[in-house]
């Protein structure tokens, strides 16, 4: 475990570890989206970012609309109501507020790309998307990616070679973390373990900071070890309007509100002024939501059963008969 405390404010973490032109991995699969971090990236005016996100929802839509993204690596981009992600569509069809290059994969293929990046592999071979259209067998879809299709030297079958994807920095909101960066998460995790391990630097945003003893009592929940983490930010409600398992539910009405308030470039800019540009930090953002709204999003209590990990060294002093 890391011995250095890494706690710092969100503004400092983003300023120190996210640079213009970076390849940025955003963790979270439906839940655990780093909205608070994304908003600080927008406020600081970062630019020319390549954003890599397995399931791109309205956080990516906001980053695109704010003009900080020049390239997007993903599998889809939408509002999970489900409905259109309007900023994404404007960027792709009208280059508003600017052109965004799209590199698209299937969900499994992108998982494998992160896996290859995490393990520093030259590629991963798979058959998952043969005949899907990604390989050109079905239609000329115009999809851009870096997949290669070759013949296996072992049995002569056609296989897809998925390239590694590596990132300059990764950011994820988790349930809890100790001050040294040992981050724990649970619920629907998707690709995040390999995504974070494919990053040179990692910023962990946590609902709460806990003692290292809490982490050690349940080590299987540790998503990324402290020595891989550059900064730790305590940021309760940092994934709103997305959910955080055990802490708060998806704010579906907010997603409907967002869809309405982003249909044109003009109304989107007004939305951003209210919720991002004119808020200094997450505390201001939560003030706009109000305590009653936050309490309504609290989930019902549904806990997993505890298990015993035992002590693997307790038998050392017991001799054989």
Give me the torsion for CA of 282, 283, 285, 286, rounded to 10°: 120
In tens, the pLDDT along 261-304 reads 999 999 999 999 999 999 999 999 999 999 999 999 999 988 88
In tens, the pLDDT along 90-148 reads 999 999 999 999 999 999 999 999 999 999 999 999 998 888 877 765 555 556 889 99
Q: What is the mean pLDDT of residues 207-226?
A: 95
What residue ranges do the domains of the chain occupy? 10-104+165-287, 122-162
In the structure encoding, which two tokens stand for residue 39, read together?
């908003």
Under the banding of pLDDT at 50, 70 and 90, the label for residue 2 is very low
In tens, the pLDDT along 152-186 reads 999 999 999 999 999 999 999 999 999 999 999 99
Rg over CA atoms, the chain: 21
Sort 223 into a burial class: Cβ within 10 Å, 0-12 / 13-18 / 19+.
Answer: buried
Q: What is the pLDDT of residue 103?
A: 94
Q: Is residue 149 predicted with pLDDT exceeding 60?
A: yes
Which one has a higher pLDDT value, 163 or 318?
163
Q: What is the mean pLDDT of residues 83-90?
A: 97
Distance between CA atoms of residues 131 and 152, nearest Å: 17
In the structure encoding, which two tokens stand for residue 107, read together?
């969900």
DSSP string, 147-208: -EEEE-TTT--EEEEEPP--EEEEEEEEEEE-TT--EE--S--TTHHHHHHTEEEEEEEEEE
Q: Which CATH superfamily is domain 10-104+165-287 in?
A: Glutaconate Coenzyme A-transferase (3.40.1080.10)
Distance between CA atoms of residues 36 and 13, nearest Å: 12
DSSP state of 219: G
In the structure encoding, which two tokens stand for residue 283, read together?
């505390």
DSSP string, 78-90: -BTTTB--HHHHH
Helix segments in 9-137, DSSP class H: 10-17, 35-43, 58-65, 86-94, 107-118
Give me the torsion for CA of 142, 145, 151, 157, rounded to 10°: -70
Residue 223: helix, strand or coil by DSSP? Answer: strand
Q: What is the pLDDT of residue 304?
A: 87
- How does the average pLDDT of the chain come out, rounded? 93
Q: What is the pLDDT of residue 1?
A: 42
In tens, the pLDDT along 6-19 reads 999 999 999 999 99
In this prediction the pTM is: 0.93
């Amino acid at each position: 475990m890391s011995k250095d405390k890494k706690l710092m404010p969100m503004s400092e973490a983003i300023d120190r570890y996210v640079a213009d032109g970076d390849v940025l991995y955003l963790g979270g699969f439906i839940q655990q989206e780093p909205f608070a971090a994304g908003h600080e990236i927008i406020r600081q005016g970062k630019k020319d970012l390549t954003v890599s996100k397995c399931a791109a929802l309205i956080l990516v839509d906001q980053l695109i609309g704010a003009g900080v993204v020049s390239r997007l690596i993903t599998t889809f981009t939408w509002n999970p109501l489900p409905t259109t992600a309007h900023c994404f569509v404007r960027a792709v069809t009208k280059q508003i507020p600017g052109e965004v290059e799209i590199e698209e994969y299937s969900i499994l293929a992108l998982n494998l790309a992160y896996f290859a990046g995490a393990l520093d592999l030259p590629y991963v071979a798979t058959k998952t998307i043969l005949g899907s259209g990604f390989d050109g067998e079905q239609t000329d879809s115009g999809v851009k990616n870096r997949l290669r299709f070759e013949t296996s030297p072992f049995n002569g079958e056609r296989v897809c070679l998925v390239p590694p994807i590596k990132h300059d920095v990764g950011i994820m909101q988790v349930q809890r973390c100790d001050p040294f960066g040992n981050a724990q998460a649970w619920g629907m995790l998707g690709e995040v373990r390999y995504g974070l391990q494919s990053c040179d630097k990692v910023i962990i945003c946590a609902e709460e900071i806990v003692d290292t003893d809490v982490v050690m009592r349940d080590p299987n929940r540790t998503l990324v070890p402290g020595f891989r983490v550059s900064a730790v930010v305590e940021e309760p409600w940092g994934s709103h309007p997305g959910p955080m398992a055990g802490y708060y539910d998806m704010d579906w009405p907010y997603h409907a509100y967002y869809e309405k308030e982003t249909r044109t470039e003009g109304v989107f800019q007004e939305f951003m002024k209210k919720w991002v540009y004119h808020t200094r930090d997450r505390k201001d953002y939560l003030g706009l939501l109000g305590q009653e709204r936050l309490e309504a999003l609290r989930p019902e209590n549904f806990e997993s059963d505890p298990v015993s990990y035992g002590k693997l060294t307790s038998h050392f002093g017991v001799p054989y008969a």
